[in-house]
Structure 1
Amino acid sequence: MRTRPTLTWSPSGPSLPRTSTLTDVVPIVADGGVLVLSGAGLSTESGIPDYRGEGGSLRKHTPMTYEEFTTSAAGRRRYWARSHVGWRTIARADPNAGHRAVTRLAPRLSGVITQNVDGLHQAAGSQDVVELHGGLDRVICLDCKILTPRIELDRRLREANPTFAATTDEINPDGDVFLPEEAVEGFEVVGCAECGGILKPDVVFFGENVPRPRVEQCYSLVDNARSLLVLGSSLTVMSGLRFVRRASESGIPVVIINRGVTRGDSFASLRVDLPLGTSLTELADAVLGS
């Protein structure tokens, strides 16, 4: 039985557990039944920065919380003004080599769980992706619960704010951006076209729980996998880490490919510290043939 290295979690810790190579990963993926768990680090090469990596946006940005969004009209106005700008970048983003490699590996995968809300796995052709934290391409009414496309909301916000012209180069994984307070003053928020209720992106905000049926679906995917392949996630929050723990406790090999330390390293059988795009392309080539 493999002895796992002991690691005390610290995002800036002095040392990492021993790293493995892609060669070590190939036979595990080639064996099939691989469940992918992806995080924001997989999308950085598509121009969407992560929260906690080098230059991560949490260093200078506090994400919207569920409590503020649901209790503060000013908070909702600020969020929708900033997200209205950020959506343009999310909507234009293209899948990168890492997303395309995951799609190529589909014959060896049992499923894909993503913590990302950008829809890039699906845009790359992956099927039946479980969006753990939801997706920015749709909005939900908190009153009547109807789901509508984000592109429709974007059109309505443009019509309601014809002179709004704020721009920024700083975007976050949740599609939010930084704008000065004066830029969001006077921004008009629109309500549900059906009932006039409060619209919210169909994503899990900080402080909001992932729906329990979705969590149970992910646990079932873990339990039926031969291995768990974590891609581009620091696993800092429990919403993703719990699946790594579940796999480890069940004796399912955990492989982590990520730049830098993760909170799940002590549960990993293998850990590879490489850029995602090139390493996943090489992994797919080795498993499937280039």
Structure 2
Amino acid sequence: MTSSATPAAAEGGGRAGPAADVGRWFATATRKPLDAPGPARGGPRRQAWGPMEGADYGRRSPADEVDAALALLRDRPVAVLTGAGMSTGSGLPDYRGREAVPRSPMTYQEFIGHDLARRRYWARSTVGWEQFRRARPGPAHRLLAALHATAFPNTAVITQNVDGLHAAAGSDPVVDLHGRLDRVRCQQCDALSSRTALHQRMLSMNPQLAARLPELAAEAAQAPDGDAEVDRTSSFRYPPCPLCGGILKPDVVFFGESARREVVGAAFAALEAADALLVLGSSLTVQSGLRFVRAARRQDQPVVILNDGPTRADAEATLRLHGRLEEVLARWVHAAGAPLP
């Protein structure tokens, strides 16, 4: 997942005011809290994510290539696949951009199997939740929504992000491939509930943390993974599911977990209904997104990829564009004769 699930002049986006670094919420808990005795606890450590070594960030494709890509997509149904670079303009950092903070993602097995991992996750996300909720659609979200009505109809925006910003900007339909952070799902009875309601409940269960929320949020925004004071709050309390007593988990796909079958089915149906695939702001590092590029190529659909920095599917793109998302999308909106949002 990315921030956008889980995982900056990042994968294509600009930057607005800072929101919450959601990726840090999902950082592994295998590192022992600094004030805890004994060996580190938690699940197996994954390789750290961060900027790609030797990657050529900051390139800009020439105007004729940008215009050729729009001509390829124009007036045909397009499936759009987006990644974390779409939301860097809303202040949500990514995993692979040139200014991304290296981190080892928490796995589903770690979260489910280790109380320490759940305490660390919920403590971090409680500190950052109000900040995250203030994130609003950025220029790239709004420009993409404008393109749907002018340059090309979309069969769906299939997003790897978990922030809900595409829907807030007016894109429709949106397939939240990796889920939504504003929802919580019980791992036993599958009941969905509101993250906002859970936030208030956890504040009431942890009054000392609640009293210091702004201070802890400021510190957590600056400290490296595992070094913020909130990470050492091993006494943090979190509730079980009120219906069955099961483990509550954010309704997003963790590393080591599969996306829900019905969601994947909706994404592939959107691709089947399209005549082309447009990829925006994703390095396509994980198979969850890469498979749609490969499926499009098997269906002989043209694939246009726009990202700042390399992607895993560069060799499979019909047209590969480099640059900032908002600059390229603004050029396309202007060429389509629509007012800039």
Which residue of 1 is the match for residue 196 of structure 2?
Answer: 151
> In structure 1, which of residues 91, 97, 106 is the aligned counterpart of residue 133 of structure 2?
91
Q: Deviations over 1:109-151 (max 9, x none)?
A: 1211000001110111222210110000100011111100111
CA distance in 2, matches of 1:66, 1:163: 29
1:253 Cα offset (Å): 0.6
Q: Structure 1: 5+ residue runs without aligned partners?
A: 1-9
Q: Deviations over 1:245-285 (max 9, x none)?
A: 11012110100111011001111011111111222122122
Pair 1:53 & 2:63 matched: no
Closer/same/farther in 2, CA of residues 14 and 68 from structure 1, 3 Å limit: closer
Q: TM-score, normalised by structure 2?
A: 0.75
1:180 Cα offset (Å): 4.0
CA distance in 2, matches of 1:117, 1:111: 16
CA distance in 1, matches of 2:223, 2:251: 18
Closer/same/farther in 2, CA of residues 153 and 192 from structure 1, 3 Å limit: same
Which residue of 2 is the match for residue 231 of structure 1?
Answer: 280
CA distance in 2, matches of 1:242, 1:11: 21
Q: In terms of mean alpha carbon deviation, does 17-26 or 218-227 score higher?
A: 17-26
Q: TM-score, normalised by structure 1?
A: 0.88
CA distance in 2, matches of 1:289, 1:18: 23
Give the aligned CA root-mean-square deviation in angstroms. Answer: 2.5
Which residue of 2 is the match for residue 4 of structure 1?
Answer: none
CA distance in 2, matches of 1:69, 1:238: 21
Closer/same/farther in 2, CA of residues 119 and 15 from structure 1, 3 Å limit: closer
CA distance in 2, matches of 1:270, 1:89: 37
| Contact in 2 for aligned 1:37/1:113 (Cα 8 Å) | yes
Aligned partner of 2:141: which letter? H
Which residue of 2 is the match for residue 162 of structure 1?
Answer: 207
Which residue of 1 is the match for residue 179 of structure 2?
Answer: 134
Which residue of 1 is the match for residue 234 of structure 2?
Answer: 185
1:179 Cα offset (Å): 3.0
CA distance in 2, matches of 1:277, 1:88: 26
Closer/same/farther in 2, CA of residues 268 and 197 from structure 1, 3 Å limit: same
Alignment coverage as a number of residue pairs: 276
Closer/same/farther in 2, CA of residues 241 and 177 from structure 1, 3 Å limit: farther
| Contact in 2 for aligned 1:232/1:257 (Cα 8 Å) | yes
Closer/same/farther in 2, CA of residues 32 and 69 from structure 1, 3 Å limit: same
Q: In terms of mean alpha carbon deviation, does 105-114 or 257-266 score higher?
A: 105-114
Which residue of 2 is the match for residue 29 of structure 1?
Answer: 73
Closer/same/farther in 2, CA of residues 182 and 238 from structure 1, 3 Å limit: closer
| Contact in 2 for aligned 1:233/1:258 (Cα 8 Å) | yes
Which residue of 1 is the match for residue 29 of structure 2?
Answer: none
Q: Deviations over 1:145-185 (max 9, x none)?
A: 1100111111101111111032122599xxx9973466422
CA distance in 2, matches of 1:145, 1:258: 36
Aligned partner of 1:79: which letter? Y
1:234 Cα offset (Å): 0.1
> In structure 2, which of residues 154, 165, 168 is the aligned counterpart of residue 109 of structure 1?
154
| Contact in 1 for aligned 2:116/2:234 (Cα 8 Å) | no
Aligned partner of 2:83: which letter? G
Identity of aligned residues (%): 45
Which residue of 1 is the match for residue 165 of structure 2?
Answer: 120
Closer/same/farther in 2, CA of residues 237 and 245 from structure 1, 3 Å limit: same
Q: Structure 2: 5+ residue runs without aligned partners?
A: 1-50
Closer/same/farther in 2, CA of residues 112 and 184 from structure 1, 3 Å limit: same
1:238 Cα offset (Å): 0.3
Which residue of 1 is the match for residue 311 of structure 2?
Answer: 262
Q: In terms of mean alpha carbon deviation, does 200-209 or 179-188 score higher?
A: 179-188
Q: Deviations over 1:30-87 (max 9, x none)?
A: 2220111000011111111100111223x1x222210011111111111110111232
1:216 Cα offset (Å): 2.4
Q: In terms of mean alpha carbon deviation, does 83-92 or 35-44 score higher?
A: 83-92
Aligned partner of 1:159: which letter? S
Closer/same/farther in 2, CA of residues 280 and 244 from structure 1, 3 Å limit: same
Superposed, which structure 2 residues align to 1:77-88 within 5 Å? Answer: 77-88=119-130
